[in-house]
């Protein structure tokens, strides 16, 4: 995974959501939608909310199960 994706996962796990304005302001990524698409392909269930102010908010519904290490 890219460091951008890892940062996004950290934010999602901590906050439960992330949005485009936050990512741009905090220099996380300019391509949040692409990273969310990758997370969905990896098993994340994420809800999308398009706001009237043109901001898009992504909320975690369910994260993929972590593999146990022995």
CATH number at residue 32: 1.10.10
E-assigned strand segments in the chain: 17-19, 45-50, 56-62
Range of the domain at 26: 3-62
How many domains are contained in the chain? 1
User: Rounded to two decimals, what is the model's pTM?
Assistant: 0.84
Distance separating alpha carbons of residues 4 and 32, to the nearest angstrom: 9
pLDDT band at 68 (very low <50, low <70, confident <90, very high): very low
Decide: residue 13, CB within 10 A, 0-12 exposed, 13-18 middle, 19+ buried.
Answer: exposed
Read off the pLDDT of residues 9-66 as tens digits, 9 standing for 90 and up.
999 999 999 999 999 999 999 999 999 999 999 999 999 999 999 999 999 999 887 6
The answer to whether residue 31 sits within a structural domain is: yes
The answer to whether residue 56 sits within a structural domain is: yes
Read off the pLDDT of residues 46-59 as tens digits, 9 standing for 90 and up.
999 999 999 999 99
């Amino acid at each position: 995974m890219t460091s951008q994706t890892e940062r996004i996962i950290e934010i999602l796990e901590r906050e439960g959501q992330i949005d485009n304005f936050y990512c741009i302001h905090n220099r996380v990524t300019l391509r949040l939608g692409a990273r969310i698409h990758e997370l969905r392909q990896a098993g994340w269930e994420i809800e999308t909310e398009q706001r009237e102010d043109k901001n898009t908010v992504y909320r975690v519904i369910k994260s993929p199960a972590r593999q146990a290490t022995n």
